[in-house]
Amino acid sequence: MKRLWQGLLLAFLLSLLVACGQVATDNEDATGNTGNEEATEEESTNSDLYPLTLTDAIDNEITLEEEPERIVSLIPSNTEITFALGKGERIVGVSDHDNYPEEVQEIEKIGGMELNVELILSLDPDIVLAHELGVSSSQEAFEQLETAGIPVFVVQDAQDIASTYETIETIGQVIGSKEEAEELIAEMEAEFEEIRELTSEIAEEDIRTVFFENSPAPDIYTAGQHTFIHELLEMIHAENAAGEHEGWLALDPEEIIELNPDVIITSYGAYIENPEEEVLSRNGFDVVEAVANERVYDIDADLITRSGPRLTEGAKELAEAVYPELFDEE
């Protein structure tokens, strides 16, 4: 009888082991993996997007066989966008002008207006993210890189927020971050909308005129229509004192005095000590409303002129400078 019970117990254990093995096999068949299915899915998602063929800003057709693992960026805006899309660790070379985020200080510098082609080649990039503004000065360098088999993708020169969104979307496609690009654009749109809603409380008679200075005297450059500055001023419900002009232009001090802006914004504090005082102490400017009321403020130029994700931060700083009372109430 004892042997009979032992035999039955052994048979039960064997049947249990077989059943467990069958469950494991069924699970593997259902998922195609055993515990690593999530990682495999993530690895294969972007591989489905390549080979990828895109046309860049100068109508060159670029084909990428695989998702780029090593990227060289030739302009700060491309770099900032790539970092914002979660692929900053793949950047192996940046321009001498790159300063954000902090990590770029540890990345190889490949030149400014003049590119170090040999250094770029030594970095063995899968793609070079160039910019429309550098085409004429770097055409020979681009040709050398392309001859060496390195694709050069020229990103458009974004001059407004809409084209900045397009640039983010394009770079997202190139580097395999299409979904992240869509999310980033949605975040920017929401942040801009918050600023619009807040400043929409300004009554018509309280709207302030703003004069923007991109450089100090004697060559004072400002921004007219079809610039980021003009668009951001409209967004925060302020009036561009130079709004009758187009693009970037220089104005004489006498013309600025005649415009009599309520606020003056400078953007050259990075290389001029105390830019506010430079404006406040100008001869004849004591009659200007902005100077008389000491409404002269400096804002980091990168935040309000660089076509990237930090434009929302620039818009908020601009709104705080022009309408500080709105933010005091927050």
**Cβ(76)–Cβ(99) below 8 Å:** yes
pTM over 0.95? The answer is no
Q: What is the mean pLDDT of residues 254-267?
A: 98
Instruction: Give me the half-sphere count of Cα atoms (radius 13 Å) on the Cβ side of residue 300.
Output: 13
Same domain, 255 and 157: no
Question: Does residue 239 form part of some domain?
Answer: yes
pLDDT bracket for residue 53 (50, 70, 90): very high
Residue 57, amino acid: A
Poorest-confidence range of 31-35, 75-79, 281-285? 31-35
pLDDT bracket for residue 39 (50, 70, 90): very low
Question: Does residue 274 form part of some domain?
Answer: yes
Question: Does residue 223 form part of some domain?
Answer: yes
pLDDT bracket for residue 70 (50, 70, 90): very high
Question: Does residue 303 form part of some domain?
Answer: yes
Same domain, 55 and 102: yes
pLDDT bracket for residue 324 (50, 70, 90): very high
In the chain, how many domains are there? 2
**What pLDDT does residue 49 have?**
81
Domain of 256, CATH number, reads: 3.40.50.1980
Same domain, 66 and 169: yes
Last residue of some domain: 176, 191, 216?
176
Greater confidence, 36 or 327?
Answer: 327
**Cα dist from 161 to 12, 35, 185, 218, 306, whole Å:** 71, 44, 10, 30, 10
Nearest Cα to Cα of residue 92 among 115, 114, 70, 67: 70
Residue 38 pLDDT more than 80? no
Residue 24 pLDDT more than 60? no
Give the three-class secondary structure for 273: coil
pLDDT tens digits, 101-111: 999 999 999 99
Residues 6+ apart with CB under 8 A from 14: none
Same domain, 166 and 121: yes
Residues 6+ apart with CB under 8 A from 134: 74, 75, 113
pLDDT bracket for residue 31 (50, 70, 90): very low
Sequence-ordered alpha helix ranges (H) in the chain: 2-31, 37-47, 76-84, 117-122, 135-147, 161-175, 178-199, 228-235, 253-259, 275-280, 289-292, 301-305, 311-322, 324-328
Question: Does residue 32 form part of some domain?
Answer: no
Same domain, 157 and 209: no
Domain that residue 101 falls in: 46-176
Sequence-ordered alpha helix ranges (H) in 89-225: 117-122, 135-147, 161-175, 178-199
Question: Does residue 37 form part of some domain?
Answer: no
Residue 303, amino acid: L
Same domain, 227 and 263: yes
